[in-house]
Amino acid sequence: MAPSSEIIEISDSDNDDAPPLPPPSSSQPSFNGDLVDLCLSDNDDDDELPAPGDALFFQGLNATGKRKRHSVASSMSSAMGYDGHELDSSENESPKKAPRKAQKQKDAADKKAMKAAEKAEKAAALAREKAAKQAYKAANKLIHDKKTTLASMEIVFPPSLANSDLIASFRAHIAPYKMTVSVAPTNLVRRQSVFTWRRTMSAEYDPVMREWQPVQEHTQTIDTYMMYMGADELVRCISEDSEDGLKNAVRLAREGCGSPKAQMFLMVEGLKLYYRRTGGIRYTKTQIELALAGLQLAENTHLLYVDTVNDAVERLYDLSADLGIKPYNIHQTHRTLAPSVLLQRQPTHGHLARRHVGEDARAGTPYDGERRAGHRGGFSYGA
């Protein structure tokens, strides 16, 4: 049976009232399923994309969104461990970037440590500078009271006086001044009781700059010694080889101290009581005084006489304070602005005139006033 052919007329008119097209008959084939298969087929000859608004267009968008969500979910799941914890980002980095990042972190840490070290060094330098200024100011502080120097002084008693009333009384006397009192382990000089002094030094005097320079704290033995003996012992020394026995005792004491030119004191206790004795006197007062005077001249020895323990305590205290203040004498230290040689006074015009008058008088020449008067009178002094 031959297929029937129908002719459809298309009107050119713009009238929208045209009758609708008749529905396709059942004998006509349906192309919906075939159209979808064509679009989804992998035909290289037909690469046209579905038009917007088409069902295939929306189907493609849904597939693209699903693929994106799947890629994001897969990346997030790869960043999480099996136990649900987030993995370290360094594990996902490439092998080439890991050393570079580690080097950058190391450089940043080194730079931070260097800045911290520089800051600490700067703070330490400022602290040292401040401490140096304070030490310089303290070292050059003008000291007037010799009692304040006793805190840096130490007196060393001989072993023979370790248990005497003298050391106990002296400790009680200088307790407010914080002076150190100690006892030597052995006698510095054989058969002699010798006192020594030490000073704690925190600054040294610079004679060129005429100021004190702070130094590391150390102890210095003062080159001053004192022999201590009673009246009976003094007489015994005098009796040995006449008056030279006392001189020899002082010489041996200087040699034992290790300083032949050291300043030496001799403290004699109970000499007045010895003079009052009525019996058992081997030497008279005159003989003893002559021996002591010869000792002063020959050995440059300073003599101290005490009769009681309190007298000895006062003498030791005065001597210790004098030794403490000695380095701080005003004429040796703190006159930094005064020249070492006194400036001579410049003569004024009046001084010069009087000096010329004196010179003229000695030479037999009248002074200037008489010269002017002579000129007015018509005469002059010639050769």
- pLDDT given at position 338: 44
- pLDDT given at position 182: 95
Residue 289 Cα to chain centre, angstroms: 56
User: Own/partner pairs for 43-49, CB < 8 Å, 24+ apart?
Assistant: none
Neighbours of 263 (CB within 10 A): 15
Give the SS3 label for residue 361.
Answer: helix
Written as six digits, the tokens of 268 are: 């004699």
Could you tell me the maximum CA-CA distance found in the chain, to the nearest angstrom? 188
- pLDDT given at position 238: 83
User: How many residues appear in the chain?
Assistant: 383
- pLDDT given at position 34: 47
CB-side neighbour CA atoms (13 Å) of 274: 22
Low-confidence ranges of the chain (pLDDT < 50): 1, 16, 25-41, 43-45, 79, 82, 333-334, 336-345, 367, 370, 372-383
- pLDDT given at position 285: 87
- pLDDT given at position 375: 46
- pLDDT given at position 255: 87
Angle between helices 244-257 and 231-239 (to 10 degrees): 110
How big is the CA angle at 357 (ends 350 and 381), to the nearest 5 degrees? Answer: 130
pTM for the model: 0.57
- pLDDT given at position 172: 95
CA–CA separation, 239 and 193 (whole Å) = 19
- The number of helices, as runs of H, and strands, as runs of E, in the chain is 12, 6
Give the SS3 label for residue 169.
Answer: helix
